[in-house]
């Protein structure tokens, strides 16, 4: 699931950069350090040449949905 994890990592990096390394944002991403694993459901959709996108990751084992959304 490396490709999906790269997209999530890219989202986190862009968010931290935009928020100028806000400790609150860094702490949230550290607390919810989520990676896609075999058996999880993953969706990526983009518009506007990738400037707007959504990542949905459903962790099947723990029945939790994570949403990463970016609009420019």
Query: What is the per-residue pLDDT across 6-26, written as a single tens digit (0 to 9) for each?
Result: 999 999 999 999 999 899 999
Residue 35: per-residue pLDDT: 87
Q: How far apart are CA 36 and CA 66, in angstroms?
A: 10
CB < 8 Å & 24+ apart, contacts of 22-29: none
Residues 19-36: what's their mean pLDDT?
91
Mean predicted lDDT score pLDDT of the chain: 91
Query: What is the per-residue pLDDT across 39-63, written as a single tens digit (0 to 9) for each?
Result: 999 999 999 998 899 999 999 999 9
Q: How far apart are CA 65 and CA 10, in angstroms?
A: 19
Residue 34: per-residue pLDDT: 87
Whether the predicted pLDDT of 5 surpasses 80:
no
């Amino acid at each position: 699931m490396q490709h999906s994890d790269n997209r999530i990592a890219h989202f986190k990096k862009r968010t931290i950069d935009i928020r100028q390394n806000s400790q609150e944002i860094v702490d949230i991403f550290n607390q919810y350090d989520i990676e896609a694993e075999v058996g999880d459901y993953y969706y990526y959709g983009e518009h506007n040449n990738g400037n707007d996108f959504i990542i949905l990751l459903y962790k099947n084992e723990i029945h939790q949905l994570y949403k990463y959304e970016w609009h420019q």
